[in-house]
Chain A
Amino acid sequence: MPVVDVQPDELRRLTGHEEKSDEEFKDDLFALGLEFEGVTDDGAFQLEFGPDRLDRLSVEGVARSLRYQYGDARGVSVPKTNDPDWTIVVDESVPDERPYVTGAVIRGVDLDDAALDSLIQLQEKLHATMGRKRAKGAIGIHDLTMLKGDVLSEQSTGNSITYKGIEPDGDTFVALDSNEELTPGEVLEQHATGRKYADLVSEYDRYPAIYDEIGLFSFPPVINGQRTEVSTESRDLFVELTGTDQWTIDRMCNIICYALAARGATIEQVEVQYDEGTVVKPDFDVETKHVSHDRIESILGIELEMDEVINLFERSGLGVEAELGEETVYEVSIPPYRVDVLHPLDLVDDVGRAYGFNELEPRYPDVGTVGQRHERSRLEDAARTSLVGLGFEDMLNFHMISEEENYERMGIEPGADYLGGGEPASITEPYSEDYTMLRTWVLPSLSMVLENNTHRAYPQDLAEIGHVAHEDDSENTRVAEARHVAAVVARHDATYEDAKARLATLCRDFDVELETPATEHPSFIPGRTAAVVIDGEDVGIVGEIHPKVLVEHDLELPVAAFEFDLSALQ
């Protein structure tokens, strides 16, 4: 979950509540759902919150929410915008994979160190969340005075920059934190930031690039050029965003504009000139959704007056008009920085938060239903109780295992028709070499437990009823899953009889008929191995574990074992 660093002094200044102590802020922030995680070296609060309210990814947004909470602000507020002077021309060469662009011009911003830090943090956090690590949306912020606009036409006084696609080595520029002219292709290989984000564009035929009259100044989504770097001296900014989805980058842009407007900057729109037509950004249109009074009451489980609901909406930074009729419906306006409102129920949640969910009195729902265990779970439980009665220690192992443990160390091979020989259901990109597939049988896990506990007292009689699986394309899930009953008897005088005797008792408990015709299995000693045949069906194996398997697991005493499909006991 996102963690945002917020300076309490900045909060005091931006909320206008100089009197608030750090402790008071912590409580107020918790009520907003922002959890205090700690303090940074320079005294900033580290706040953690759910990734829905991305408009709170900076101190400006947090302060705005607090002002609504305090009642200092109500309803929807939209910053004034000036008419466009700049145009972003989208060239037909723009990469198909990343066709969208948006932006804004910011004038008269007062960037002290704190404000600049906050802006950089907001940019990073938006990249990490909505921007999906820059894949879906990436932000470039430039010092406007360092840009020289192309003249669009003789009739127009406006300036333009161009978003286009270029060959990987089609041009050069000096990237941030660098001092040499590199092509975009070279940046991906030689520049630290380039290497970090290379995967985003390396498959593209043409690389995204933004030009002004002087030349290439930004290589989205990887890195900006050094020429337009923003500093505390910068007063006018050009914000551009590119991405794979117009709505996403527009909202990211809105969040940045709102943050800078909160610091007194003026927002100036830009035109984006696509082939299909020209649009004006940022787009601060206020959307509306409708929710009925009854639905609010039914979700919260309490009765509310209309005035109260309107107040709660406004205190959440939402605009509201009540439409009276057979049932009261609220038309709620949603500010353009909100990215989390997909459905009217999201507005009910805002009302609940403003009301205070913890103010609600819990009640046990007056709903009668009949509880029961699943048949499979009851069977498993009964079998486990029998095994424990036979003196087995009940084990619980991971379902994931490595091929080496599942097959090789047990002396078996995949694709064989004996127990455990099923084809592996393998994990595509395993995180650890110890867990690369689902186990096809349980005895490898029990053998590993024995191996890891040779320093513990014997006898070690262990049993596990557990999940096993193998690839089977005839299944809808492509994986055949089952529960196996497995047990090992490890003691200095363990023999086939020890395993068979216990297996026989278990079968008697479940009133099924056990036969043990001789068979062969590579994990067991020939001549001391039998198939477990229950009610006429071959469902498993019983025998003495082969010495090569014992030695492989550093075991210095005999082990008798059995394993079979639990469903045979049904």
Chain B
Amino acid sequence: MRLPESQVAVLNAASATDERTIAQLAEATDLKPETVTGAAFDLRDEGLVSVTETVEEDVELTDEGVEYADDGLPELRLYRAAMDVGDGDAVPMGQVIGASALGGPQVDIALSNFARKGYGHIDSGELVPDSDVDADADDEAAALAALAAGDHVDADVLDQLESRNLVVRRERTIRAVTLTDEGVTALMEGVEAAETVDRLTPEMLTSGEWEDVEFTEYNVEADAPEVRGGKKHILRQTADRVKDVLVGMGFAEMEGPHADADFWINDCLFMPQDHPARTHWDRFALDVPPMEDIPEDLIDRVRDAHLNGVGDDGDGYHSPWSEDFARAIALRGHTTSLSMRYLSGHEVGELEPPQRYFSVEKVYRNDTLDPTHLLEFYQIEGWVMAEDLSVRDLMGTFEEFYSHFGITDIQFKPHYNPYTEPSFELFGRHPETGELIEIGNSGMFREEVLRPLGVECDVMAWGLALERLLMLMYGFDDIRDVHGTMCDLDLLRETEVLK
């Protein structure tokens, strides 16, 4: 018979007449106890040995228990100090505690056990020891001493010590091995150790040789060489998450040009042409010819809204409006240019309410680069079109959206945007820090925006920087570490994935 080496050793060390514990066998075979246990069970499965199990209890002193075994129980120290100082009479508390040299939490421990054991009582700040007590006969002290010496102690006292957290009791299974008749027979017929192998090879599997070999043990706790897989960029993961949430809420994704006419980027949005955000400092004008193809009737309606307002009581801006400026091409400063294209019917045909649309795409702002501002970033943009929408619908939509990112307690701060009215800055409670933070800008599109586009119903919209959401959720403090060519590969590699 061929058996793995460890099983051969255990079989040889076991006896048919005496039970041998795992510990004894381990000593005899010079194997690790867990190896012996594994081998013993394998041998039992093959019917060569029987294994019996008994449960024993180990009692061990805690650090506190060891300390009391050495120094004495605090209540005894208190009692002895009281007797020393007052010789059985009442003693002021402070004096006893001083004499006992007890400190910190030990004083409380001493006082409560002192009372429990009837060593005396406390009266108006004085300690009155009971002079009939035999301090040397304390059974807890005796038990501690016995345990420290490795002796056995009664279960009652142990319970008491355990409740004082002075001992820890652990149950331990003792396994003992005895040779069966088959085991004896096998030994008499001769048992050989099978050879050990390092690697399982295709040849071993096809030849069946694997049945007779034993695999050498690995140190399974040792570090393995690093394997690096790719993963999606963390900002992309965040964008995907936002898209998932919005699609789940019934929003369809928009798509459109990054370079666009100012007409679509700003004029449709009822941004006056002399608005500070439209000066050359804030926008990235491109050095290309102006856009030719913009529907003339739309240009006329938008110009009219700017100059004369919309509706009987409407007023326009008292700002110049130039078609040349409207046709000039720039990088979009917000993805609201896409919303304008969709709402105008220019992208996917005339839209009938209800509609929900979104985009999570790049926008470009000529701003100072710093840890929280990039020249280009991702804007989350969303809008809802319906016959009648109220501020309450807007609030309900945003509460739903932000709840998916753990941001609750949404506050709506009335705000001003040229293109929405009413407008709100959105504030929410940070999931980790609990701080109230700005999380977006929102409102109902003005009639001066919607009517020229041919939209006769209500549309509410909101926007938010994706990077801001990422920084809130991940606590990155410099966005340049992840977005752009200055990124740190190690940071990207080690960043936790978005769950």
Contact = CB atoms under 8 A, between A and B. Distances in A.
A297 to B, nearest CB: 8
Interface in B252-296: 252-255, 257-261, 274, 276, 280-281, 284-293
Contacts of B316: 342
B289 A394 contact: no
B291 A448 contact: no
Contacts of B422: 299, 348-349, 352-353, 357
A473 B289 contact: yes
A503 to B, nearest CB: 15
B202 interface: no
Interface residues of A, number: 97
A341 B488 CA distance: 50
B487 interface: yes
Given A367-B354, A374-B254, A391-B229, A344 B313 contact: yes
B250 interface: yes
B73 to A, nearest CB: 56
B243 A377 contact: yes
B230 A400 contact: no
Interface residues of B, number: 103
Interface string B205-234: 000000000000000000000001111110
Contacts of B492: 393, 395
- Name the residue among B249, B287, B290, B354 with the largest chain A CB count within 10 angstroms: B287
Contact of A51 (B416, B483, B484): B416
A481 B250 contact: no
A370 B375 CA distance: 34
Interface in B350-387: 354-356, 362, 364, 366, 369, 374-376, 384, 386
Contact of A397 (B260, B399, B484, B489): B484
Interface stretch (B62-70, B134-142, B440-448): B440-448
A368 interface: yes
Contacts of A290: 312-313
B346 to A, nearest CB: 11
A453 B287 contact: no
Interface string A362-380: 1111011111111011000
Contact of B255 (A377, A392, A453, A460): A377
B473 to A, nearest CB: 16
B310 A365 contact: no
B250 A456 contact: no
B356 A371 contact: yes
A517 interface: no
Interface in B147-184: none
A430 B257 CA distance: 20
A157 interface: no
A136 B493 CA distance: 53
Interface stretch (A16-24, A78-86, A382-390): A382-390
Contacts of B399: 362, 364
What 4 A-B pairs come out closest when comparing CB atoms? A301-B390, A50-B416, A362-B395, A301-B392
Interface of B: 228-233, 235-236, 240, 243, 246-255, 257-261, 274, 276, 280-281, 284-293, 309-320, 329, 331, 354-356, 362, 364, 366, 369, 374-376, 384, 386, 388-393, 395-400, 410-416, 421-424, 444, 446-448, 482-490, 492-493
Given A371-B356, A453-B489, 17 more contacts: A33-B414, A300-B392, A362-B410, A365-B393, A367-B393, A368-B354, A372-B252, A372-B253, A374-B253, A377-B253, A396-B487, A399-B362, A400-B376, A473-B288, A476-B293, A477-B261, A479-B288
Interface of A: 33, 35, 50-53, 132, 135-136, 244-245, 247-248, 288-290, 298-302, 340-346, 348-349, 352-353, 357-358, 360-365, 367-374, 376-377, 381, 384-385, 387-400, 425-429, 431-432, 435, 438, 445, 448-449, 452-453, 456-457, 459-463, 467, 469, 471, 473, 476-479, 481
